[in-house]
Amino acid sequence: MAVSPYACCPDSCSIAADDFNRPDSTDLGCRWRERSGNWSIYGNRLRESGNAGALVIAERPAPDMSFKLIAESPNVPAGAIYRVIVNYLDDDNYHFAEFEFPANWLQIRLYKRTGGSNTLLAQPATRDQVARYVYGTTLADSEIARSDLLRAEIYPDSDDTADPLGDGPDGVYDRVEYTYNRQGERVAKKDQNGTVHQYSYDSLGRQTGDRIIEFGSGVDTQVTRIASTYEVRGMVESITTYGSCTASSSSSSSSSSSGDGEVLNQVLFQYDSTGKLVKEYQEHAGPVALG
């Protein structure tokens, strides 16, 4: 990035700075206003360095005494690590802020070095990571209107809006959405990449199927459905992975595990008279063959 002329650092700006982790003095000085050539800040002077190519300025303005970093690294390969040292006492006792080129303020880390070891103190530029949970369904999106059902999840890296639920300024869908049936059971989920899951249940409310009815861009389409069956006492009897969407999505446990889909793999469970699992069979290429 281009560097414009900088105003003189205020008197409160008494910070040691050196992008090569060298001992430093206590002031940046006020006799320079812009960058020229390949320089590194070293104490209250600008010194030319064969390894330079980075200008790092640390400011600590009054009255809150917080500091910020401004960096230019035009001649340095991506991934190079830079440091700004603050509160320098000696080679083994100081604080430093560290970041990578190109300068990414979301990756600034503040450390304290004491006795030859570094301790991470904070990542102030990241601030709090906030995930948003949107509650409340309507008859427009589900078969039931309830205020206590989770409608969507919006993670910190998304700019999607919660009220109204939408794609945000970038116009890109980046959230998880859920829909429900009249019993309040979750019957569909659309994830961040646009893949849509459809869930089926038996008459006892147990999930019997997780079927993909729409794949997002770039998603592997080999597995399209996972079905579960239950034995008479309620324990899981089988879990079967299918590779075809032609399998039935009926709400009964038996029909949701049998259909026209190709069986890719399967797990069977057997229990003793007290309900404890005693055997597990796995087949990684097709259905389990007993006997």
pLDDT in tens, the chain (291 residues): 233 333 333 333 333 444 444 444 443 333 322 333 333 333 323 333 333 344 344 444 333 333 334 444 444 455 555 566 666 666 677 677 666 555 444 466 777 878 778 887 766 545 567 789 999 999 999 999 999 999 999 998 888 999 899 998 888 999 999 999 999 999 999 999 999 999 999 999 999 999 999 999 989 999 999 999 999 999 999 999 999 654 333 333 333 344 558 999 999 999 999 999 999 999 999 999 887
Residue 121 pLDDT: 74
Domain residues of the chain, as ranges?
39-126, 128-192, 204-291
CA dist 82 and 84 (Å) reads: 7
First to last CA, the chain: 70
pTM for the whole thing? Answer: 0.55
- The SS3 assignment for 59 reads strand
Amino acid 86: pLDDT: 62
Write out the two tokens for 110: 């503040």
DSSP E strands: which ranges in the chain?
Answer: 39-42, 45-48, 55-59, 68-72, 81-90, 93-100, 109-114, 117-122, 132-135, 150-154, 161-162, 165-166, 176-180, 186-190, 196-201, 207-214, 225-230, 236-242, 263-271, 277-283
